[in-house]
Structure 1
């Protein structure tokens, strides 16, 4: 549990424990994340206790940390509602109330989903360079706590006029692509806050990464890009170019801010990403795999 993402941790513990007891499960072990440990370390401690299931309670960063600790272990992950992003919850139709989330955790389907791995760091939702990273970095915790995902809109608007950067993409064994862009987004799923689907057709279990290169140059370009996003168009467009690959090496000039599942990682010039097919077992509602 990320205690900063739960309004009343004691009440939260009591409600989750009561729901588990109602399903005949033992009282759970509780571990809190910290600024130094987003979830991987405490998940390792839980695995050392021989747990059958791990619940992540927090935002996408907490889910990412727990997924890192569970990668390849065969122990499934369930997600409790919390945080402001919760993009994995929205993309996979996971419950947004504690009773429903516990019910899915203990009795739902177990689905093997892919993990992206960014320079050795797993992610469950998206990683990127440019606009998405600066948007996340400039959105305050106060704003997120007050108005939720709408806070990201203000963060995005501040950076719509940022200067483009040079990008070279090496996707699998194909010839490199060279572009000028304001964002390169690599996703395991396709939907952002507010239901905006930047990567239509992205699936978390197809063994592929979905990649968006965003390169609008004029206000009219932004209107076209917005229209494509709102209509979920898959028509080819150099201002919003999409690709799929199992591996991607992205090089930029000058250095640009990077992010992983909404957490800014600092400025850099290279991002190496690959997919680990089926590396995470996730509890989902019955029938959501289709």
Structure 2
């Protein structure tokens, strides 16, 4: 029996010849029912995913960037329904880490005929993420580079935002790893990783794998452009934990308390400032179509 296939598309994102071409490519496959949903913002996607799953979708194509994937993965976690990623965003970090190409025809082929693999997700304050999440410098940079600037400048918006926030303050924080205090002091950034590579091909977490049942954790005490340049340079040329301004470990559960509210982000989407974060790993929570 031909499967029910759903497409959840961020209509403002572009890939290849566009959504019309996607409809043609899907129609050429052995599809029973096609459920087609377009949204103007990624935050509108969860409602459509829930509807698709309720309608019996057996394969869900997600058209958009990391934020769109995150919103859909949060709903699809634990469902067992495969997600096929069509990387139409700015950075597409999750797709890049999984070697899913920005070639529309090939990405669709992978969705229908690639292998199905259960992958881990991180969970931060009750919300799933696929790539990375964090608070402090990185979250401030993400927030500053979102909206019109991101649409207009693409990856350059991240560079410009980073330059504006390298002088941000250090914040006293206490971080517990699996119940034991791991870090207590002032830091500028707390990062959680499910995969290793971030924008620009830099390895933030050298040993990260999305199928190992662990969450990577990093904290940076870097402040100012000189120290941050040293951190990024170390990530680009060696191992991030070799930097004197970085500590890295892995965990199944993490709790963090900040002296003052800090903005945090999940897969490039900013969230409101908080004084506490709780992170866990959800092993094998999302089934993804891979080459």
Instruction: State whether TM-score is above 0.5.
Output: yes
1:189/1:202 contact within 8 Å kept: yes
Match of 2:50 in 1: 44
Aligned alpha-carbon RMSD (Å)? 2.0
> Which of 67, 71, 82 matches 1:76?
82
1:76/1:281 contact within 8 Å kept: yes
Match of 1:196 in 2: 202
How many residues align structurally? 283
> Which of 1, 4, 13 matches 1:5?
13
1:281 aligns with 2:287: yes
Match of 1:258 in 2: 264
Match of 1:157 in 2: 163
Match of 1:113 in 2: 119
Given the superposition, is the C-alpha separation of residues 226 and 64 from structure 1 closer, same or farther in structure 2, using an over 3 Å criterion? closer
Distance of 1:105 and 1:161 partners within structure 2: 43
> Which of 27, 32, 35 matches 1:29?
35
Match of 1:142 in 2: 148
Name stretches of at least 5 consecutive residues in structure 1 with no aligned partner.
286-290
**Structure 2 length as normaliser, TM-score?**
0.91
Distance of 2:267 and 2:224 partners within structure 1: 28
**Structure 1 length as normaliser, TM-score?**
0.91
Match of 1:288 in 2: none
2:11/2:38 contact within 8 Å kept: yes
> Which of 266, 270, 281 matches 2:276?
270
Provide, for residues 126-185 of structure 1, a one-character-per-residue CA deviation record: whole Å limited to 9, x for no partner: 111011111111114333223321210101110000111012111113234203111111
1:76/1:282 contact within 8 Å kept: yes
Secondary structure, counterpart of 1:20 in structure 2 = helix
Q: Which has the higher strand share?
A: 2
